[in-house]
């Protein structure tokens, strides 16, 4: 479904952020993308979404049009290469939940935010509204529908952000730190929600317990290279491997001192 | 200082809350309200500078709208507190330049300069009240939708919408930065001038980062230059009637001095 073929990328010439990264993610897989700060996790997401790198056309957001960007290799989503001309087609398949929900929710109410993407993709108002209701019902968050984005709590905002993306029925869900800044109760709700979603999921996070709970496979990035790629259990319980890449065991496996 | 910024953010959001009301005025389509407001402002501005009594009739529109919409008039004056003095200042020199006597009240001579000053002030206040009422009874998205329907350039409308939406985002960034500053500068009022440059630079960079992320979020949800508005009502016959009645009333008030006619009727 998603394929990175020998992808090398640098925001500035001579300072590669990703070096010869290759992996393939199959349909329905849930993959955790982990690594220390600066390992290249966000860049993988941006490249996939066409927000940076060869896929980014003019006016594509984050870093687009930055002539210093250099890269090689190919990124494919269901056989379609991430290139400026293919972006509308590719982005229709991908849903991205940003780390900061405040930056994702730009309309006054949750309802309007959820409608935004649907109307952009040409859905009729009636159909779009039905879809909004359906998604909120599936998530058990009907109460959020007419609430103002600035008046809801952090946890509710994160749920609303997930809802806005799910409303568009993406085939792949990309989530950047979905549990950051959430209290334990809301974190648990998000984990349960992620677990119940049927889509292919790529999750980047430093919350390794959450990754363990939600992902079947983990890709460990270190200095722009893949340090390990395999079953979550194998990687997340390998203390040596994690520590060699500036990571630590998930709290549940850490021995109390 | 932080309290002022927080109050500004609150003010901005309060406009959204006001516009989400459910009165008869709120239910009228944005297009009809926009048309009535434009005609109202046009009519008010077109009154002759000495036709103060004729202009007086035009106060009925804002008064009625304030009553029906349930928006307190004090909210309007509070929100316009910074603009009102400027409007009132416009005609303040007229009495000095135009001293032609118009009539006398006892020993006090009222000059045409004084009348034109009051007329100018009334015009300004009426126009501001009408604009406020439009904003306070119509969601910005609906208003922008109406502007697009009358073929206002997409770029301008999107700019208007995003400016309105992101003013609060920018204010939030200023709030966070001033809070961080004041916590490390106890007892200091405001921001020291030596920090202005870096403060503004940081604000610009932070705002750009946030704007970039917001824009990415829009792009990823299919935005391609045209904003689609979630709530745009179809025009009903009630909306047409609303617009027609008000426009006819304004036209009548402009052609006939209705205040004088009413006054004469009462006197007789």
A108–chain B nearest CA distance, Å: 8
Name which of A51, A148, A168 is nearest B216 (Cβ-Cβ). A51
Inter-chain residue contact A106 with B214, CB threshold 8 Å: yes
Name which of B17, B212, B222 is nearest A61 (Cβ-Cβ). B212
Q: Which residues pair with A231 in a beta bridge?
A: A217
**Which of B17, B220, B225, B232 is best to mutate for the A interface (most A CBs within 10 A)?**
B220
Whole-angstrom Cα distance, residue A241 to residue A236?
9
Residue B28 DSSP class: S
**In this structure, how many other beta carbons lie within 10 angstroms of the beta carbon of residue A115?**
24
Q: Is A65 on the interface with B (CB under 8 A)?
A: no
Residues 6+ apart with CB under 8 A from B29: B142, B146, B233, B234, B235, B236, B239
Residue A252 DSSP class: T
- Label the pairing between strands A80-81 and A217-222: unpaired
Name which of B216, B218, B228 is nearest A119 (Cβ-Cβ). B228
pLDDT at residue B229, rounded to an integer: 64
Residues 6+ apart with CB under 8 A from B164: B140
3-state secondary structure of A196: helix
Chain centroid to CA B6: how far?
21
Between A245 and B225, residue with greater pLDDT? A245
| H/E run at residue A4 | strand A2-12
B71–chain A nearest CA distance, Å: 20
Between B190 and A41, residue with greater pLDDT? A41
Name which of A100, A117, A125 is nearest B221 (Cβ-Cβ). A117
Name which of A61, A120, A168 is nearest B216 (Cβ-Cβ). A61
Q: Is B165 on the interface with A (CB under 8 A)?
A: yes
| HSE (side-chain half, CA atoms, 13 Å) at A125 | 8
Whole-angstrom Cα distance, residue B79 to residue B251?
29
Side by side, which strands form the sheet with A94-97?
Answer: A94-97, A172-176, A200-204, A30-35, A217-222, A225-231
pLDDT of A56 above 80: no
Average pLDDT, chain A: 88
pLDDT at residue B80, rounded to an integer: 85
Q: Is A115 on the interface with B (CB under 8 A)?
A: yes
pLDDT band at A240 (very low <50, low <70, confident <90, very high): very high
pLDDT at residue A62, rounded to an integer: 47
Entry field: residues in chain A? 257
pLDDT at residue A7, rounded to an integer: 93
Q: Is B221 on the interface with A (CB under 8 A)?
A: yes
pLDDT at residue A72, rounded to an integer: 84
pLDDT tens-digit profile of A151-171? 888 888 988 999 999 999 899
Averaged over successive runs of 10 residues, the pLDDT of chain B (268 residues) comes to 73 82 91 95 93 90 94 89 84 86 87 92 94 93 87 88 81 86 82 88 88 86 74 76 94 87 80
A186–chain B nearest CA distance, Å: 23
| H/E run at residue A231 | strand A225-231
**Closest residue on chain B to A125 (Cα):** B230
pLDDT tens-digit profile of A178-223? 988 788 888 888 899 899 998 999 999 999 999 999 999 999 999 9
pLDDT at residue A55, rounded to an integer: 60
Provide, rounded to the nearest whole percent, the portion of chain A with pLDDT above 90: 56
pLDDT at residue B231, rounded to an integer: 57
B192: tokens are: 């020291």
pLDDT of A64 above 70: no
Q: Which of residues 208-237 of A touch B (CB under 8 A)?
A: none
pLDDT at residue A256, rounded to an integer: 58
**Closest residue by Cα to residue B45 from B90, B78, B83, B103:** B90
Kindly write down the DSSP assignment for every residue of A13-80, as one continuous string: TTEEEEEEEEEEE-TT-EEEEEESTTSSHHHHHHHHHTSSGGG--TT-STTTT-TT-EEEEEEEETTE
* Least confident residue range of A119-133, A223-237, B209-223: B209-223
- Label the pairing between strands A94-97 and B108-111: unpaired
Chain centroid to CA B159: how far?
17
Q: Is A107 on the interface with B (CB under 8 A)?
A: yes
> Residue-wise over A90-111: b if at least 16 C-beta within 10 A, else e?
bbbbbbbbbbbbbbbbbbbbbb
Cα end-to-end span (Å), chain A: 43
pLDDT at residue A58, rounded to an integer: 43
Between A95 and B232, residue with greater pLDDT? A95
Note whether B213 and A98 are within 8 A (CB): yes
**Closest residue on chain A to B16 (Cα):** A108
Kindly write down the DSSP assignment for every residue of B92-141, as one continuous string: TTHHHH---EEEEETTEEEEHHHHHHHHHHHHHHHHHHHHHHHHHHS-HH
Note whether A64 and A56 are within 8 A (CB): yes
pLDDT at residue A139, rounded to an integer: 87
Inter-chain residue contact A100 with B213, CB threshold 8 Å: yes
**Closest residue by Cα to residue A121 from B228, B118, B110, B166:** B228
Whole-angstrom Cα distance, residue A110 to residue A124?
18
pLDDT at residue B1, rounded to an integer: 57
Q: Which residues pair with A176 in a beta bridge?
A: A204
Domain limits, chain A: 2-244
Determine what percent of chain B falls in helix, strand and coil, rounding each to the nearest 5. Answer: 75, 5, 25
Homologous superfamily in CATH for domain A2-244: P-loop containing nucleotide triphosphate hydrolases (3.40.50.300)
């Amino acid at each position: 479904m998603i394929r990175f073929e020998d992808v090398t990328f640098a925001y500035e010439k001579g300072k590669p952020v990703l070096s010869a990264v290759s992996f393939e993610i199959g349909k329905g897989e849930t993959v955790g993308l982990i690594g220390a700060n600066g390992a290249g996790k966000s860049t993988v997401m941006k490249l996939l979404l066409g927000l940076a790198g060869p896929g980014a056309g003019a006016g594509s957001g984050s870093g687009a049009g930055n002539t210093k960007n250099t890269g090689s290799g190919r990124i494919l989503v269901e056989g379609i290469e991430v290139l400026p001309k293919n972006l509308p087609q590719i982005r229709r398949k991908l849903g991205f939940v940003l780390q900061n929900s405040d930056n994702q929710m730009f309309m006054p109410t949750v309802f309007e935010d959820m409608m935004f993407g649907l109307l952009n993709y040409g859905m009729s108002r009636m159909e779009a509204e039905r879809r909004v209701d359906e998604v909120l019902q599936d998530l058990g968050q009907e109460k959020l529908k007419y609430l103002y984005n600035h008046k809801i709590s952090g946890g509710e905002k994160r749920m609303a952000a997930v809802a806005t993306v799910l409303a568009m029925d993406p085939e792949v869900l990309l989530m950047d730190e979905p549990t950051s800044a959430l209290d334990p109760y809301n974190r648990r709700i998000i984990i349960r929600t992620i677990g119940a979603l049927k889509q292919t999921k790529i999750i980047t996070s430093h919350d390794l317990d959450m990754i363990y709970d939600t992902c079947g496979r983990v890709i460990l990035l270190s200095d722009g290279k893949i340090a390990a790629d395999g079953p979550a259990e194998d990687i997340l319980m390998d203390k040596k491997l994690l520590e060699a890449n500036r990571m630590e065991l998930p709290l549940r496996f850490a021995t109390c001192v | 200082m932080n309290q002022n910024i927080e109050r500004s953010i609150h003010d901005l959001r309060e406009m959204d809350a006001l516009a989400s009301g459910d009165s008869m005025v709120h239910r009228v389509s944005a297009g009809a309200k926009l048309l009535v407001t434009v005609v109202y402002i046009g009519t008010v501005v077109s009154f002759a500078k000495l036709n103060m009594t004729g202009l007086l009739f035009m106060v009925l529109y804002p008064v009625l709208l304030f009553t029906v919409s349930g928006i307190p008039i004090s909210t309007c004056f509070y929100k316009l507190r910074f603009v009102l003095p400027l409007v009132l200042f416009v005609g303040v020199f007229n009495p000095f330049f135009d001293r032609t006597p118009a009539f006398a009240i006892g020993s006090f001579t009222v000059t045409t300069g004084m009348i034109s000053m009051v007329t100018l002030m009334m015009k300004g206040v009426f126009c501001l009240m009408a604009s406020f009422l439009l904003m306070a009874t119509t969601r910005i998205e609906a208003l922008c939708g109406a502007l697009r329907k009358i073929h206002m350039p997409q770029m301008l409308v999107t700019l208007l919408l995003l400016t309105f939406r992101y003013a609060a985002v920018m204010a939030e960034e200023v709030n966070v930065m001033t809070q961080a500053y004041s916590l490390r500068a106890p007892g200091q009022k405001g921001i020291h001038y030596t920090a202005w440059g870096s403060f503004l630079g940081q604000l610009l960079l932070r705002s750009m980062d946030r704007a970039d992320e917001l824009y990415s979020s829009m792009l990823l949800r299919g935005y391609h230059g045209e904003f689609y508005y979630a709530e745009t009502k179809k025009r009903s016959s009630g909306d047409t009637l609303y617009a027609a009645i008000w426009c006819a009333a304004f036209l009548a008030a402009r052609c006939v001095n209705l205040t004088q006619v009413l006054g004469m009727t009462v006197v007789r």
